[in-house]
A and B are shown apart, each in its own frame.
Chain A
Amino acid sequence: MPGRRIRLNFVNLFLWLLGGGLLAFAAYGSFLTLIEGRIQPNQWQNLIVAGVALGSVYALIALGYTLVYGILFMINFAHGEVFMWGAFTAFFAATALNDAGMMASNPVLAFFLVLATSMLVSMVVAIMLERIAYRPLRGAPRLVPLITAIGASLFLQYTARGFYGSGVRAYPDYTIFDGTISLGFLSLSVKQAVVILAAVGLMVGLYLFINRTRTGRAMRAVSEDKDVAAMMGINVDRIIVTTFAIGGLLAGAAGILYTLIFNQVLFFMGFLPGIKAFTAAVLGGIGNVIGAALGGLILGVVEQLGPNLFLSGYGVPSPNQLKDVIAFSVLVLVLIFRPSGLLGRKENT
């Protein structure tokens, strides 16, 4: 109907104006900031490095969203909690090893033990989510698993709260990761280097797994067509569980890396990184593995760099408090200008 088309165009026009306004605001702010020269080059560099480190963590979480979406066309909104459980496990494992003196006597082994435990626990949480919360609802209308995801999310949050309390807990410091590394013009803390290297290693591993192994091929086949995949002899249920398990492993790793940066855990800590990683997955193109990694990095950098670059030029007193606003403005811009994401396919369902 013509009436409807005109209305839609009007809405689109409004959205484009809004998006264009946001972009212009950011561009002019950057101009002002750069003209003023209030921020030193090495500060820029620090912000970018911090952004890449944070973005690597987002990327690891985002991969879990995108892998599950690629296979079930469902957003696992409890995924942030899988990450939180990984971080909590890292906290308890690290505290235990610290008390046992292992962090002092054999710090590298201790780190890998903590990493392995977190990944394992998050994997188990993700598998149980699939089994208990999602599998019985397969084939139900889309809204049903979404509501269940919110329920499962609250369940996981408050279980953590019930067992471990609602306060912030300080994470034991890894003294081996103190100090900084200088690579010519680039300098970064050892912790940041560990986070980035671990994340990149895991992502390369995932890429090879998906593209080079039999199970990885089966995952791709299931994401294209479950019926035909079953005709090939693929146990589709097992591939779905495997996908959740891989997402869980990556979220668990993200949990320990995140605590390495921020040094604390809290039962509610899964919420914001979870939503931001979801934003990253949408930004990269949900369902696309490389897109999720790219989206995570971009979001991390924009979040760290953005407040200072876009806002400090306007004389905003504490721009860093607005980093979450900037992160979600990115989501709004993506949804306005490129709903299928940077590397996403055009929706054809």
Chain B
Amino acid sequence: MTQAETATAPATVNEPTNGTPLLELRDLHVYYGNIEALKGVSMTVGEGEIVTLIGSNGAGKSTTLRAISGTHKPRSGAVMLEGRDIHHLPAHEIVSLGIAHSPEGRKVFSRMTVYENLQMGAFSRKGEKIEPDVARVFDLFPRLKERRTQKAGTMSGGEQQMLAMGRALMAHPKILLLDEPSMGLSPILTEQIFNIIREINGQGTTVLLVEQNALMALNAAHRGYVIQTGKILLADTAKNLAANEQVRQAYLGEI
């Protein structure tokens, strides 16, 4: 089938040509016990890009992000950040190398205030001034500023999503991993969140965006990968993917 053809040569056409990519995954195999969740995932993210990873529930999107941020170690393969393999490093060291992960389901510290959550986001930058970054986050998400001293657990889903993204930004990441930021949000809020993702990218942060909401994700991204049961199925520019017949049928809800 054509699937196999596309899968064997992922992304080479659209890969940024200027030297090593910011992030590169090489043949990642990740297991949960005996279950192989990723069966050889390879992909690249170039500096300044928004790259999206789309796929249905259980395809392995979150697992890919966990392998990158070190929260779930791959059994084999490599995670190259600026040409250096980091897959064996503990998660708490990976953050300070420039990878911030905003996990699925927000996972804000619910018993801490908004401000304390932001402080936690900057934990890896010991001793640095964080006020300018707090100001930047409040600029992006004015709602958070009003709730500065509120406990995060008492906020709405949309506000928690904003906080999760703001918290990740506090680490000054080179690359921001976003896991389903639109999950459970109203269409209006989703629209807002995607605009902010573009804005963050415009300010110079590279973004790897995982989404089930393929349409929105492909609209915002430069390039995309489609993952299915632990394998990369398609890799192309976001525009081409959005036009792809297969993608339209499987992920954009068209018949």
Residues of B within 8 A of A227 (CB): 71, 91, 103, 107
Binding stretch for chain A, among B7-15, B114-122, B211-219, B244-252: B114-122
Contact A221 B92, beta carbon cutoff 8 Å? no
How close is A130's CB to chain B, nearest CB, in angstroms? Answer: 18
Residues of B within 8 A of A233 (CB): 92-93, 95-96, 123-124, 171
Q: How far is the CA of A229 from the CA of B123 in the complex (A)?
A: 9
Q: Which of A219-249 contact B (CB under 8 A)?
A: 220-221, 224-225, 227-236
Q: What 1/0 mask marks residues of chain B from 93 to 109 whose CB sits below 8 Å from any chain A CB?
A: 10110001101000101
Residues of B within 8 A of A235 (CB): 90, 92
- With both beta carbons as reference points, the residue of chain B lying nearest to A236 in the complex is identified as B92
A214 at the interface (CB under 8 A from B): yes
A93 at the interface (CB under 8 A from B): no
- With both beta carbons as reference points, the residue of chain B lying nearest to A218 in the complex is identified as B123
Residues of A within 8 A of B70 (CB): 230
Q: How far is the CA of A141 from the CA of B93 in the complex (A)?
A: 28
B59 at the interface (CB under 8 A from A): no
Residues of A within 8 A of B91 (CB): 227, 230-231
- With both beta carbons as reference points, the residue of chain B lying nearest to A227 in the complex is identified as B71
B110 at the interface (CB under 8 A from A): yes
How close is A66's CB to chain B, nearest CB, in angstroms? Answer: 15
- With both beta carbons as reference points, the residue of chain A lying nearest to B116 in the complex is identified as A217
Contact A214 B123, beta carbon cutoff 8 Å? yes
Q: How far is the CA of A231 from the CA of B99 in the complex (A)?
A: 9
> In the complex, which range does the number of interface residues on chain A fall in?
10 to 19
- With both beta carbons as reference points, the residue of chain B lying nearest to A345 in the complex is identified as B111
Known: A217-B116, A233-B123, A233-B124. A224 touches B111 (CB 8 A): yes
B69 at the interface (CB under 8 A from A): yes
Contact A230 B71, beta carbon cutoff 8 Å? yes
B112 at the interface (CB under 8 A from A): yes
Q: How far is the CA of A235 from the CA of B91 in the complex (A)?
A: 8
Contact A231 B69, beta carbon cutoff 8 Å? yes
How close is B33's CB to chain A, nearest CB, in angstroms? Answer: 13
Known: A217-B119, A217-B120, A236-B92. A231 touches B111 (CB 8 A): no
Residues of A within 8 A of B96 (CB): 233
Most buried by B among A220, A227, A235: A227
Contact B103 A224, beta carbon cutoff 8 Å? no
Residues of A within 8 A of B69 (CB): 231
How close is A243's CB to chain B, nearest CB, in angstroms? Answer: 16
Interface residues of B (CB under 8 A from A): 69-71, 90-93, 95-96, 100-101, 103, 107, 109-112, 116, 119-121, 123-124, 126, 167, 171
A-B contact pairs, 30 of them (CB 8 A): A217-B119, A218-B120, A220-B109, A221-B109, A224-B109, A224-B112, A225-B109, A227-B91, A228-B103, A229-B120, A230-B70, A230-B71, A230-B90, A230-B91, A231-B71, A231-B91, A231-B101, A231-B103, A232-B95, A232-B123, A232-B124, A232-B171, A233-B93, A233-B123, A233-B124, A233-B171, A234-B92, A235-B90, A235-B92, A236-B92
Identify 20 new A-B residue pairs, CB closer than 8 A, beyond the known A220-B112, A230-B91, A233-B171.
A214-B126, A217-B116, A217-B120, A221-B109, A221-B112, A221-B123, A224-B109, A224-B110, A224-B111, A228-B103, A228-B109, A230-B71, A230-B92, A231-B95, A231-B101, A232-B120, A232-B121, A233-B123, A235-B92, A236-B92
